[in-house]
Homo-oligomer: A and B are copies of this chain.
Amino acid sequence: MPSADRRLQPRRTPRQVRAELTRERILAAAAHVFAEHGYAAGTTNRIAERARVSIGSLYQYFPNKDAILAALLIRHIDRGVWTRADELDLSPGTLEAAVRALVRDAIDNHGDDPQLLRIMIEEASFSQELLDTIDQHGKLRVGQVRDLLARHPDVHVRDLGTAAELITFTVETNIHKLMAAPRAIPVETVENELVDMITRYLRGPR
């Protein structure tokens, strides 16, 4: 079995500007095509066509279809889409304010292309290498939330780890759903309700 490196690494690195532009065009096209058709039906020919680039060019920068999706994912991660929790305000204040910051963060993170993100998470069959990277980032985020909870005096839950996991996932998916579907309920409403629910949960009995 070829190593994950070889399977995802580009076969040629751009040296001239136009090459970099071509690479970008391919990635942009791939993002659109995957979001519109899904991963399986998002064919490489369709991507090349949309990028107004020949199929040959596509395969100069990406050794295979998986590599395109991998590049897309890495770009998202590098842009901080899943790591912005780093900058979360951990300073003491109202518990509600902290929770709201968490929810806002999730909303911001889904601004880009929620449909694409869905595809990337759910439909693709990633290499173990990539899966680990994603998982690591997820764990990191939950850990940060856990720390935030631990630091706040108003938090009273049975188990910090469980609570962190529960609220992180709940916020994530609810926002996810909200952004993917045609806005049936206003964003602010969902934000408020989520904040209410989680705050009351964290405050504990009484």
Contacts and interface: CB of A to CB of B under 8 A. Distances in A.
Given A40-B40, A174-B166, A196 B201 contact: yes
Contact of A197 (B40, B174, B201): B201
16 contacts: A40-B40, A41-B125, A162-B185, A162-B193, A166-B174, A166-B193, A169-B173, A169-B177, A170-B170, A196-B201, A197-B197, A197-B198, A197-B200, A197-B201, A200-B203, A201-B201
A200 B122 CA distance: 32
Interface string A100-125: 00000000000000000000001101
Contact of A166 (B122, B163, B197, B200): B197
Interface in A69-105: none
A116 to B, nearest CB: 14
Majority-rule SS of A interface residues: helix
A29 interface: no
A105 B177 CA distance: 22
A28 interface: no
B125 A38 contact: yes
Nearest to A173: B173
Contacts of A201: 193, 196-197, 200-201
The 4 closest A-B pairs by CB, nearest first: A197-B201, A40-B40, A200-B200, A173-B173
A201 B200 CA distance: 6
B125 A193 contact: no
A131 to B, nearest CB: 13
Contacts of A123: 122-123
